[in-house]
Amino acid sequence: MQIFHNPSYNFVRWRWHALAFSWVIILAGLATVWVKGIPLGVEFSGGTIVIVQFQQAPDMPKIRSSLDPVIPGGGQNAQIQSYGDPLQRQVMIRVPQVGEEAGGGLSRTADAVVEGLRTAGLNPNVVGREIVGPVVGRDLTRRGILATVFALAGILVYVAIRFQLSFAVGAVVATVHDILVTMAFLAFFRYDLSLNVIAAILTITGYSVNDTIVIFDRVRENMRSHRRDAVDTIVNIAVNQTLGRTVLTAGTTLLSVLALYLFGGEVLKGFAFTMLVGVITGTYSSVFIAAAIVTLWRGKGRMKLAAGPAPAPARASNKKDRKTKAS
């Protein structure tokens, strides 16, 4: 299926605009994190989550007041919010980590939350529980950071071996860009950083690199057929040659992730949102950021492959031999 017929858009021309636009988003995200912090899921912060369902529309103030006598710090220390479809009348109650609770202490906190609601006459139906201790939370945080660092290191080594160092740097910078932009949007819309979100971030890391490698592979081919052209020209030709494939891949992936976001339920909301942002920014970075890094690294010169011996001296030598024989 062909979407574009001989496209010749000058993407490289907009590299500085793209870089500036990305910096604006990243800096705004950092400012949001500085002011409001990053909402951490219970997997990383530790604590207890209880999801309950009521027969009638939940009364949030009454739910909070019912927790005052049963949890440390009272109901003001808990996060209470609607969960899932409003018609289901479900509420998520999160009690953050308090003191040095562990194991049984966390389980008792969940039991105390349910007992407090029943004592207040709210008669909840417990839909689900999630309990994570402080040690597990710290270990998961360390593992999440290590997984991201190892993924970036692997990308750098793989692309450097398969292509060139400038390509590897471009791929890694584009991937880091995708992670930072995605984290910025998570901070903007206040999605919790959970294991599902970490999984989505690692997924879009692979997605973005795959898209970038397709473009770099075409750049390498063009280095042979356009060896006398400038770097900007070769990169621009490669991006245009792969534009149809890029749009089709991103479009079909977006449709799948959008369906997951709309119909996947509250549990997958953070994962699907992260994937939505990641697919968009991954496609954007492959076209603008990764290519821009390669052109900036290479400068204004030409991409030349190692050439064999020029034929002209050989012809000259043959003429000289013929003259010698004739004499």
> Where a domain ends, among 117, 132, 147?
132
| Residue 277 belongs to a domain | yes
Whether residue 242 sits in one domain with residue 105? no
Whether residue 63 sits in one domain with residue 17? no
Handedness of CA 149, 151, 156, 161 (dihedral sign): positive
CA distance linking residue 159 with residue 209, whole number of Å: 9
Whether residue 235 sits in one domain with residue 153? yes
Whether residue 32 sits in one domain with residue 80? no
| Residue 260 belongs to a domain | yes
Sequence-distant (6+) residues with CB within 8 A of 270 are 41, 186, 191, 192, 194, 196, 197, 200
Q: What is the pLDDT of residue 133?
A: 65
Q: What is the pLDDT of residue 218?
A: 87
CATH number for 260 = 1.20.1640.10
Q: What is the pLDDT of residue 71?
A: 77
| Residue 52 belongs to a domain | yes
Whether residue 254 sits in one domain with residue 187? yes
Whether residue 268 sits in one domain with residue 166? yes
> Where a domain ends, among 111, 132, 153?
132
Whether residue 264 sits in one domain with residue 229? yes
Identify the residue whose tokens are 């939505």.
Answer: 276
Q: How many domains does the chain have?
A: 2
| Residue 21 belongs to a domain | yes
Range of the domain at 255: 12-38+137-298
CA distance linking residue 293 with residue 291, whole number of Å: 5
Whether residue 124 sits in one domain with residue 167? no
| Residue 29 belongs to a domain | yes
Structure tokens at 297: 């690294």
| Residue 4 belongs to a domain | no
CA distance linking residue 318 with residue 302, whole number of Å: 32
Whether residue 101 sits in one domain with residue 31? no
Sequence-distant (6+) residues with CB within 8 A of 69 are 116
Find the helix or strand (DSSP H, E) in which 180 lies: helix 165-188
Q: What is the pLDDT of residue 109?
A: 79
Whether residue 232 sits in one domain with residue 157? yes
| Residue 306 belongs to a domain | no
Q: What is the pLDDT of residue 264?
A: 81
Identify the residue whose tokens are 């021309």.
Answer: 13
| Residue 241 belongs to a domain | yes
Q: Which residue from 240, 170, 237 is spatially nearest to 208, judged by alpha carbons? A: 170
Q: What is the pLDDT of residue 88?
A: 86
Residue count of the chain, please give it. Answer: 327
CA distance linking residue 171 with residue 151, whole number of Å: 12
Identify the residue whose tokens are 């400068």.
Answer: 299
CA distance linking residue 245 with residue 289, whole number of Å: 18
CATH number for 117 = 3.30.70.3220
CA distance linking residue 122 with residue 65, whole number of Å: 12
> Where a domain ends, among 115, 132, 149?
132
CA distance linking residue 28 with residue 198, whole number of Å: 21
User: DSSP label at 40?
Assistant: B
Which residues of the chain fall below pLDDT 50? 99-102, 301, 304-327
pLDDT in tens, 241-276: 888 888 888 899 999 999 999 888 777 888 999 999
Whether residue 142 sits in one domain with residue 221? yes
Whether residue 20 sits in one domain with residue 71? no
pTM of the full structure: 0.75
